[in-house]
Amino acid sequence: MKYSVMSSSGALSNEEKKRLLKAIQEDEEFRYAVAGLLGLDAILNDLRKLREEFNKYIEKLDNYINNTTTAFSENDRKWEENFRRWAENDKRWEENDRKWEENFRRWAENDKRWEENDRKWEENFRRWAENDKRWEENDRKWEENFRRWAENDKRWEENDRKWEMVFAQLKTLDSRVTALEQSMDSMNRRISAIGARWGILSESAFRRGMRAILRDVLGIRRVSKLKLEDEEGIVYGHPSIIDVDIAVRNGEHLLIEIKANANRSDVAEIKRVGDLYEKLKGTKPRLIIIAAYTGPGTKELAEKLGVELHEGV
């Protein structure tokens, strides 16, 4: 295509300008020819190269952007996944924190229980300590009690030993008294025999005298024989059976001992017999000794012990 650039007058009309601009826009060859005429071909080449390079850059940039977009999308996906995991992890941590808080609360309650348990154990130990002290005090008291019982046993053993000695002495004394009584009975029989021979004392006269004394002096009509069980040995120092003559007058109990010859031992004996009778019967008897003769000091002892002594049959 050939274009006429200028009119005959050398100036472009408006129509020509429009046609020229349209040709430059639409016809690439014409556009480069105009550019060459204007010295712009090098510039156009540079621009072409620049555009090509720019297009390549844009293409690379698009690729980069696409790749970057893809990478960012993947990264976003990963970040979203990461955020999701972090959210899940946060939930787990929250749940873990809740569990730890619950665990701490339980541990706090458990600590309180252990403190209460420790307090109870301390109280229990304190009570056991007090109980141990009480047992120690109790043991000490029992030891003291055992010691006293041991001392008491020793005293009782000593007392038993002394009583055995006393009983032995009393047994010896009783043998001696029995022998003495036998001697006195023998002597009394001899005296009675002598008295009967000389008319001083006869059996019938002695009996009449006793009946007269019991009737006239004491007003007693009947005398009974009674046996007393002396289990504690009050009279002779050992268990024995005691024969006594007893009479009751107007509710009064009379314990009577008839002797041809009375002495101090007879007075002491009837006093012990009276104590035995009072213990067994619950009644204190009136003590009476009737004797033909009395030994020295017999009257004085009878008065002192409250024994009535009738002498001189």
Lowest mean pLDDT among 12-21, 39-48, 260-269, 284-293: 39-48
CB 296 within 8 A of CB 262: no
Q: How many other CB atoms are found less than 10 A from the CB of residue 272?
A: 16
Class of domain 202-311: alpha beta
Q: Which residue has the tokens 């022998």?
A: 179
Contacts 24+ apart (CB under 8 A), 269-275: 269/235, 270/307, 271/305, 271/306, 271/307, 272/234, 272/235, 273/228, 273/235, 273/242, 273/244, 275/234
In 3D space, the residue among 308, 215, 205 whose CA is nearest the CA of residue 266 turns out to be: 308
Check residue 201 and give its pLDDT: 47
CB 255 within 8 A of CB 225: no
155-183 residues labelled b (16+ CB within 10 A) or e (exposed): eeeeeeeeeeeebeebeeeeeeeeeeeee
> Does residue 307 sit in helix, strand or coil?
coil
Domain chopping of the chain, boundaries? 12-148, 202-311
Q: What is the pLDDT of residues 58-109, one digit of tens each?
A: 788 778 777 777 777 787 788 788 888 888 888 888 888 888 888 889 888 9
Higher pLDDT, 20 or 266: 266
How far apart are the C-alpha atoms of 289 and 302, rounded to whole Å? 9
CB 236 within 8 A of CB 313: no
Check residue 217 and give its pLDDT: 57
Question: What mean pLDDT value characterizes the chain?
Answer: 79
Q: What is the pLDDT of residues 109-159, one digit of tens each?
A: 988 999 999 999 999 889 999 988 999 998 899 989 889 888 888 888 888
Check residue 51 and give its pLDDT: 75
* Mean pLDDT to the nearest integer, 260-288: 91
Q: Is the pLDDT of residue 197 over 50?
A: no
Check residue 116 and give its pLDDT: 92
